[in-house]
């Protein structure tokens, strides 16, 4: 069965996308009666003293905080982010007004004529400034959005007994999502309800966020998913930020309005990956064995909390990566700064945590004079081991098999030895994992996923769920699960467009949960249908999420138990060469081995792997995104560099089957895990090539020049 389900088929959405014929939101609604553009704040921190609005011609409107019929707060994880700024300003680009009208040129003229007088306050841009309350506190009494602390074993007492303590700091920066089409929505009024068409990951998130803003019941808000050209987390919560002011305008005007950001606007004001700073202390005995670790993680959450809480949770629970350290203390904090809010991005806190831990293991190996693999091997998790949250590793862990295969593919050991005497060449290794599904009890307490399977009178099967296709092949994989389970051909299965007015809420398309959690529901629902199948009759099956009986119960107060029901695992090797004159870094090869259970479609999994590798390469080496005076310095895609086809190194990957009993046909999540290991493996390779310690990404030519100037 596993071998059969793993066969690759032509993706259901492949032809139109490959031909460029796929119609995205701007194509679907090319002629709109009204258009919307935002008026944004121009200061990073302060208060609005006065506003002067221009006279408006008939048919043109300006909407702001006073026009919100319900609560002026966007309900995400928290509701601290206002729909429209009313008095307080926390970042450049905060929405103050939405201008609506028929002519785009006139809208821009109106926008330029708006005058806002501010009382400016001292902004804080860094984690250090936020922690020091520079310019005064602006969130709570300590500028901390959220914090978590985990104690596994008794780390404090082991530090007292340590023969030696080694410690270091590790830093990661911003990253832009660079999805294919910018943020886009179209909304209209219909039968006393608002209907929103959105390029998003989470239609039910939009419905939830706008309910309190408009004061309407959920049944009077309908969100329809449009074809989405990539998201990577950038269309998880940010569409809520745009949909709420758009909803206010439609609520008042009862007319259709399109809202499509241009690329420059999208780059300047959309959410990014959380920058991080991690300090790791390690207690060692006299033989160099690791006794305990103390890990302090700090995330830059930007001006409002958004989903920093859940990103931080995953970072904290991934802090020890693939290792079983018996005594660990982890503290995580997300801070408020006067910059665009940080939000979800592929990996969701895990890449920051994995980068820090893998770099730290290399640091320990260097300080102890050990081989990078040799120092890791004694601490690798195995089935039955406790996690940092005192849960359990339930599945068979095949890290030794993944390691053996990647060493063979990459010739890592020979090259590692050879490059010790070959300047400017280096090769690096990393391990990584990713917890599948929502953290803790999120699936059973918050999401409560449900899917629907309908068989028509002509025996066609329609799968309905809220998970969206955004380039990852979900339509094909869900339909394959249904066709294989029912024993019918793939062309007799259809995946319905996510529409909150029609499909059940199976949860958001995030957290590597689509296959692991929702795909399993599709399989279980189709098994029920197969048992009850009556040819020629319409039949409907609902399948609800039921928590696994084998997991260690989650305690949301103590933060103990199984943070995730299962994990995907991997290893990466990256080989690089540094130009001794320009200090440019050329990636010569990337290798990866992965445990994703059993792939539903091997070609789709390989595509995810290749895409994740290249995106991680950009995060490691190219994608510099700096903030100066509250603005991103890299303002266009000519300034913000992402990998192109010219930057693609040779790639080789392998997926080793390790069936997961509670995944459809043994499958686990793949989309996020494949990103997690690229940055630490790349950095390790550069460290060898330049014979220097590097603890920050992206690693740029100027980074290496500075190291040379410092004589390091």
Condensed to tens digits (0 to 9), the pLDDT of residues 151-175 reads: 999 999 999 999 999 999 999 999 9
> Of 704, 401, 706, which Cα lies nearest the Cα of 576?
704
- Percentage of the chain modeled with pLDDT above 90: 94
- Per the prediction, the chain carries an average pLDDT of 96
Q: What share of the chain is helix, strand, coil (3-state, %, to 5)?
A: 30, 25, 45
Say if residues 690 and 584 touch (Cβ distance below 8 Å).
no
Alpha helices in 466-519 (DSSP H): 474-486
Say if residues 687 and 362 touch (Cβ distance below 8 Å).
yes
Question: Can you point out the beta strands (E) in 461-549?
Answer: 461-464, 493-495, 539-544
| Residue 4, pLDDT score | 63
According to DSSP, residue 201 is labeled: S
Location of each CATH 3.90.1170.50 domain in the chain: 25-121+177-269
Whether 3 has a pLDDT exceeding 60, the answer reads: no
Segment 224-274, tens digit of pLDDT: 999 998 999 999 999 999 999 999 999 999 999 999 999 999 999 999 999
Q: Specify the CATH number of the domain 25-121+177-269.
A: 3.90.1170.50
In the CATH hierarchy, which fold is given to the domain comprising 449-544?
Aldehyde Oxidoreductase; domain 4 (3.30.365)
Distance between CA atoms of residues 314 and 310, nearest Å: 6
The pLDDT of 23-51, averaged and rounded, is 95
Angle between helices 678-690 and 350-368 (to 10 degrees): 30
Segment 599-619, tens digit of pLDDT: 999 999 999 999 999 999 999
Segment 563-586, tens digit of pLDDT: 999 999 999 999 999 999 999 999
| Residue 1, pLDDT score | 38
Whether 16 has a pLDDT exceeding 90, the answer reads: no
Segment 71-120, tens digit of pLDDT: 999 999 889 999 999 999 999 999 999 999 999 999 999 999 999 999 99
Q: Which one is predicted more confidently, 3 or 371?
A: 371
Segment 509-523, tens digit of pLDDT: 999 999 999 999 999
Name the architecture of domain 276-439+560-709: 2-Layer Sandwich (3.30)
| Residue 712, pLDDT score | 59
Location of each CATH 3.30.365.10 domain in the chain: 276-439+560-709, 449-544
| Residue 670, pLDDT score | 96
Give the confidence band of 64 by pLDDT, cuts at 50, 70, 90.
very high
CA R_g for the chain: 26
Whether 449 has a pLDDT exceeding 50, the answer reads: yes
Q: Is the dihedral of CA 514, 515, 516, 522 positive or negative?
A: positive
The pLDDT of 674-679, averaged and rounded, is 98
Give the confidence band of 13 by pLDDT, cuts at 50, 70, 90.
confident
Whether 454 has a pLDDT exceeding 90, the answer reads: yes
228 CB-near residues (< 8 Å, 6+ apart): 24, 179, 181, 199, 200, 201, 235, 468, 469, 470, 471
Report the predicted TM-score, pTM, of the whole model to 2 decimal places.
0.97
> Of 370, 334, 376, which Cα lies nearest the Cα of 354?
376
Whether 350 has a pLDDT exceeding 50, the answer reads: yes
| Residue 709, pLDDT score | 77
């Amino acid at each position: 069965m596993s071998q059969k389900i793993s066969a690759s088929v032509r993706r259901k959405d492949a032809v139109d996308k490959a031909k460029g014929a796929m119609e995205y939101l701007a194509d679907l609604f090319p002629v709109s009666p009204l258009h919307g553009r935002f008026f944004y704040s121009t200061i990073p921190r302060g208060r609005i003293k006065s506003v002067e609005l221009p006279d408006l011609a008939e048919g043109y409107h300006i909407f702001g905080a006073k026009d919100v019929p319900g609560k002026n707060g966007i309900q995400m994880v928290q509701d601290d982010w206002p729909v429209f700024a009313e008095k307080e300003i926390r970042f450049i680009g905060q929405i103050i007004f939405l201008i609506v009208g028929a002519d785009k040129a006139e809208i821009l003229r109106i926008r330029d004529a708006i005058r806002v007088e501010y009382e400016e306050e001292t902004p804080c841009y860094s984690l250090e400034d936020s922690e020091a309350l520079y310019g005064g506190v602006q969130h709570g009494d300590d500028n901390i959005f959220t914090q978590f602390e985990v104690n596994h074993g008794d780390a404090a007492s082991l530090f007292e007994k340590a023969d030696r303590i080694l410690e270091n700091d590790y830093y990661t920066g911003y990253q832009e999502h660079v999805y294919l089409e910018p943020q886009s929505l179209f909304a209209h009024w219909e039968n006393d309800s608002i209907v929103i068409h959105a390029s998003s990951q989470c239609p039910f998130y939009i419905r939830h966020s706008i309910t309190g803003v408009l004061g309407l019941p959920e049944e009077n808000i309908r969100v329809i998913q449009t074809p989405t050209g990539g998201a990577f987390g950038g269309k998880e919560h940010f569409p809520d930020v745009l949909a709420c002011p758009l909803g206010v305008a439609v609520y008042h005007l009862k007319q259709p309005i399109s809202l499509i950001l241009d690329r420059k606007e999208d780059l300047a004001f959309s959410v990014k990956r959380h920058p991080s700073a991690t300090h790791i202390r390690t207690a060692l005995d006299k033989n160099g064995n690791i006794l305990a670790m103390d890990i302090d993680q700090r995330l830059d959450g930007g001006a409002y909390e958004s989903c920093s809480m859940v990103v931080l949770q995953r970072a904290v629970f991934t802090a020890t990566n693939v290792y079983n350290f018996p005594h660990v203390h982890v503290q995580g904090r997300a801070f408020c700064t006067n910059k665009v809010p940080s939000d979800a991005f592929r990996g969701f806190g895990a890449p920051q945590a994995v980068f820090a831990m893998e770099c730290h293991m290399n640091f320990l190996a260097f300080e102890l004079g050990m081989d990078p693999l040799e120092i890791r091997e004694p601490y690798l998790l195995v089935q039955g081991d406790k996690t940092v949250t005192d849960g359990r590793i339930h599945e068979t862990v095949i890290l030794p098999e993944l390691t053996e295969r990647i060493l063979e593919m990459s010739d890592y050991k020979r090259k590692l030895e050879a490059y010790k005497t070959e300047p400017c060449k280096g090769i690096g290794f990393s391990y990584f994992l990713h917890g599948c599904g929502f953290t803790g009890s999120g699936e059973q307490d918050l999401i409560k996923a449900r899917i629907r399977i309908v068989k028509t009178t002509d025996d066609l099967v329609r799968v309905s769920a809220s998970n969206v296709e955004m380039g990852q092949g979900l339509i094909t994989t869900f339909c394959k699960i249904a066709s294989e389970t029912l024993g019918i051909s793939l062309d007799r299965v259809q995946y319905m467009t996510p529409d909150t007015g029609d499909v059940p809420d199976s949860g958001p398309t995030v957290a590597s949960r689509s296959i692991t959690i929702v795909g399993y529901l599709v399989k279980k629902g189709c098994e029920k249908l197969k048992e009850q199948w009556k040819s020629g009759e319409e039949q409907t099956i609902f399948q609800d999420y039921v928590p696994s009986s084998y997991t260690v119960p989650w305690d949301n107060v103590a933060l103990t138990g199984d943070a995730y029901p299962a994990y995907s695992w991997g290893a990466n090797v990256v080989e690089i060469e540094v130009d001794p004159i320009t200090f440019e870094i050329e990636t010569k090869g990337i290798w990866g081995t992965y445990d994703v259970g059993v792939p539903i479609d091997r070609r789709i999994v390989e595509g995810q792997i290749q895409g994740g590798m290249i995106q991680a390469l950009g995060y490691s080496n190219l994608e510099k995104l700096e903030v100066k005076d509250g603005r991103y310095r890299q303002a266009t895609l000519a300034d913000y560099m992402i990998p192109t086809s010219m930057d693609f190194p040779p790639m080789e990957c392998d997926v080793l089957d390790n069936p997961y009993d509670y995944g459809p046909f043994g499958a686990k999540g793949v989309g996020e895990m494949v990103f997690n290991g690229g940055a630490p493996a790349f950095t390790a390779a550069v460290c060898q090539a330049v014979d220097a310690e590097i603890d920050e990404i992206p690693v740029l030519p100027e980074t290496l020049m500075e190291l040379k100037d410092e004589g390091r």
